[in-house]
Every structure is written in C-alpha cells, then in structure tokens.
Amino acid sequence: MQTFDLATTPLRELNQALHAVASGSNDTHFEVLNPRGSHSVAVGVDAPVTVDMQGNVGYYCAGMNAQATINIHGSAGPGVAENMMSGTVVIDGDASQYAGATGRGGLLVIKGNAASRCGISMKGIDIVVRGNIGHMSAFMAQSGNLVVLGDAGEALGDSLYEARLFVRGNVRSLGADCIEKEMRPEHLDLLRSLLERAEITDADPADFKRYGSARKLYNFNIDNADAY
C-alpha cells in the first residue's frame, strides 16, 4: 500500500500517482493521511484502485471518478463525486452541497447527511444517503436512483425526468412535476439491491415511498406555464 501524507507531500504528487496506475499493476491500494480539507483530492481517477482518505476533504473530491473505490473517513465539501462515471465513493461523515451532481454511473454512499442539491442533474448514478438531504435535491435529475433513509428538504425532485427517488422519512415539499408514485414489486427489488450494495442491513424497503416525474413538463404547454 502506498501512503501519501498531505501534510508533507504536495497534492499534485498524489493525483499524478493515481493517474499513472498502469493496467494490471499490483499497486492498487493508496492511503491518504492528513487531507485537512484539501480540494480536488483523487479527481479524475480512471483505474480499479482503492483510496482510503483518513480525514475530511474539501471541494470536488473524487470528481469524475471511474472504476476506483474511494473511502472518505471523514466528511466531504461541495461537489464530492461530481460527474462520477463508475466505481464507488463512500463517505463516513456528511457531504456538503451538490454531492454526486451530474453523476453518470457508479455508487455514492453518504453515511451522514447531505446538504442541498444532492444528486442535482444526475444522469445514471446511484446515491444512497443514510441521513437527511437538503432542499432542491435531485433537481432536473435525468436517470439513476436516489435513496434517502432520513428526511428530504424542500422542492425534492424539481423538474426531474426519469430518475427514481426513494425516501423513508418525511419530505418537506415536492418540486415542480414531482409526485409520489406507487411502489411496485420491481421497485422493492431495486431498492433492496441498492441497500445491499450500500451495505445497509437495517432498513426495510417496504418503509420507503417512491417519487418520480408526473411527465407534464417534458414539452412546453401553455396550460402548464405556471408550473415552470
């Protein structure tokens, strides 16, 4: 295992080492000490490596992640796992604004709470939040799944398309064109699979409600003008 102490080693050296991992390499486990809220840690990783960060990170950690498993043993600043492509990002603590924004694939697990705009414009990513999420989460979400074991803030799913939202707690309010939908057997199976992937064993899929698009805003209609 390679260890990088960001108290003494420039962040650029860590990111360069992660980008330089060769196909078939056995050097696939990295430990990061003293991240101390550094920004853009492990951005753009595109290799099947494991990165363990021992502390809090700043803006855009694990952005554009592909293939890698990135464990943050602390909390994360705004934009964690932004535009994530594949792989897994797990946050032991809380996540700030727009976690998983525009994510196209992979799994983001937040064991604490997530702030506003979690999953904004998500495009295929799966996000599981054990705690609560803030307002305007899943705004314009296009595809993928957002699972929330706690409560959701105001305007959940505003102007979303075909993403699926599952919330166990209370929803402060729904955004434009977002409605509660029937939880059918296939959705229970999907939710059970997502919880298993997130290693959550103390939640019953039957306790969740599903939310999705009413599909009234796909095309402009003057009769719906007040909803835009």
pLDDT confidence bin for 25, thresholds 50/70/90: confident
pLDDT score of 228 more than 60: no
Q: Are 116 and 134 in contact (CB under 8 A)?
A: yes
Size of the chain in residues: 228
The model's pTM = 0.95
Average pLDDT over residues 119-147: 98
State how far the alpha carbon of 31 is from the alpha carbons of 2, 26, 112, 164, 184, in Å.
6, 15, 22, 34, 42
What would the pLDDT profile of 167-186 be if each residue is shown by its tens digit? 999 999 999 999 999 999 99
- The mean per-residue pLDDT over the stretch 196-203 comes to 97
Beta-strand runs (E) in the chain: 2-5, 29-33, 50-54, 69-72, 88-91, 107-110, 123-129, 143-148, 164-167, 178-181, 209-213
The residue extents of the domains of the chain are: 55-227
Helix (H, G, I), strand (E, B) or coil at 171: strand
What SS3 class is residue 206? helix
Q: What percent of the chain has pLDDT over 90?
A: 91
CATH architecture of 55-227: 3 Solenoid (2.160)
